[in-house]
Amino acid sequence: MKKTLRPGLCEIFSPADLADLADFKINLSVLAPSWQKPMKEEKENNAQHFLDLIQKSRKGKFKIYIGMSAGVGKTFRMLQEAHSLLRNGIDVKIGYIETHNRKETHELLTGLPLIPRRTIFYKGKQLEELDVQAIINLRPEVVIVDELAHTNVEGSKNEKRWQDVLEILEAGINVISAVNIQHIESLNEDVKRITGIDVQERIPDNVLRLADEVVNIDLTSEDLIARLKEGKIYTPDKIQTALANFFKSEQILQLRELALKEVASQVVRKVENEVPNLHALRHEKLLACISSNDKTAKIVIRKAARLASYYNGIWYVLYVETPKESTTRIALDKQRHLINNFKLAVQLGAEVIKVENENITNAILKTVEEKQITTVCIGKPHLNLFKVILSTTIFRRLLNKLSLSNVDLVILS
């Protein structure tokens, strides 16, 4: 019996789990609207499709500046563009900007209309946040909103600023925003490996895919370090600490590569979407197979998300529940990790499929056939176990079946 996240969560999660997933269900409607496709008559499908086109045309356009790190000039470039738009008669306003007290950047605010921020008192402190309602009420043609990955103060309508931006776009207002490459969800493990930092403020990859335009602000590592030493990024008391930690040449080069690859994949996706004749002969459909092993599952999900993004393909996450891992037998901490990984997969744009089957290979092959999968992704087991698996009849059968059906197998480590 197959269970997917469509049409309801009740088929997957126990009643105890559902109590914790109220917010998650709301997020699904934002991040995966395609799940709401009507399943009725063809006429209704056509009508809904036309309605979707109308609603899409009413949404604001979304432009994102992306960079490899702080200090490359994203905010500076946004403000330059705001001045250019203003000179050309466009009603542009500053919704939220963070200059970090950088002199050159701060000077560019002169002459630009600002929308007052919303003041919030939290734990005895007066804090300022983006005023979403004020922006919607004023309805500028374009609004500049910095720090896309920012977490809002507790008590705000939305938890994250990217959710604020989606709300503004839904109101038909064009948005220009900015984010650093280390804040992209599917790159979290890569960034942690490169920098040793587990970045907490992240945006789902889907938010980046919603952008009509993604612009990379690029600098060489030498130029960026020179800017840091000249005091153009941080105050003098923070420069040495930054040089000893995040701003190392080898780290900057690797982050730069991630940023360039991300923007390149966005361009490829845009071309494929807007120029249908250039579509590849085989449209990629990926299946990421996960277990209840939390660490391995996260790696598989994030790397499969990157592959799906690169190939502009549809992707699924499959979890096969064997009798040994039924809800009555599996440990509570594993259940919680599994739920969190389902959430992560959804945020990154996957459709999650849960299958009850005592034979994992059969379940994978059946899903491959039903979903017309072109690439299967699995995690790499421990080396000694890996050698054992390679010698087993089950694994050979999986390889043989996939090769006969022209399906690729990718082992992610």
pLDDT digits (tens, 9 = 90+) for 293-304: 888 899 999 999
> Residue 245: pLDDT band by 50, 70, 90 thresholds?
confident
- Higher pLDDT residue, 310 or 118? 118
Placement of tokens 């559902």 in the chain: 18
CA distance 393 to 390: 8
What is the CATH topology of the domain spanning 2-34+282-412? Rossmann fold (3.40.50)
Average pLDDT over residues 148-172: 95
> Residue 62: pLDDT band by 50, 70, 90 thresholds?
very high
* CB 320, CB 357: distance < 8 Å: yes
pTM of the model: 0.67
203 CB-near residues (< 8 Å, 6+ apart): 148, 149, 160, 162, 179, 183, 184, 185
367 CB-near residues (< 8 Å, 6+ apart): 287, 316, 318, 353, 355, 373
Mean pLDDT estimate for the chain: 82
Q: Do domains 2-34+282-412 and 59-274 have the same CATH topology?
A: yes
53 is written with which tokens?
A: 């086109």
The CATH label, of 3.50.50.60, 3.40.50.1370, 3.40.50.300, 3.40.50.280, for the domain at 59-274 is 3.40.50.300
Average pLDDT over residues 346-360: 90
Tell me: pLDDT of 273 over 70. Answer: no
> Residue 242: pLDDT band by 50, 70, 90 thresholds?
confident
Q: Please choose, from the candidates 276, 310, 70, the residue with its C-alpha nearest in 3D space to the C-alpha of residue 180.
A: 70
Q: How much is the pLDDT for 13?
A: 41
Tell me: pLDDT of 35 over 90. Answer: no
Tell me: pLDDT of 20 over 50. Answer: no
CA distance 95 to 136: 11
Q: How much is the pLDDT for 272?
A: 67
Tell me: pLDDT of 208 over 70. Answer: yes
DSSP H or E run through 88: none
**Any idea what DSSP says for residue 182?**
G
Q: How much is the pLDDT for 36?
A: 43
Domain boundaries, the chain: 2-34+282-412, 59-274
Placement of tokens 């994992």 in the chain: 360
Q: How much is the pLDDT for 267?
A: 77
Q: What is the dihedral of CA 188, 325, 13, 349, to 10 degrees?
A: 30
Q: How much is the pLDDT for 85?
A: 94
Q: How much is the pLDDT for 6?
A: 38
5 is written with which tokens?
A: 């996240």
Tell me: pLDDT of 314 over 80. Answer: yes
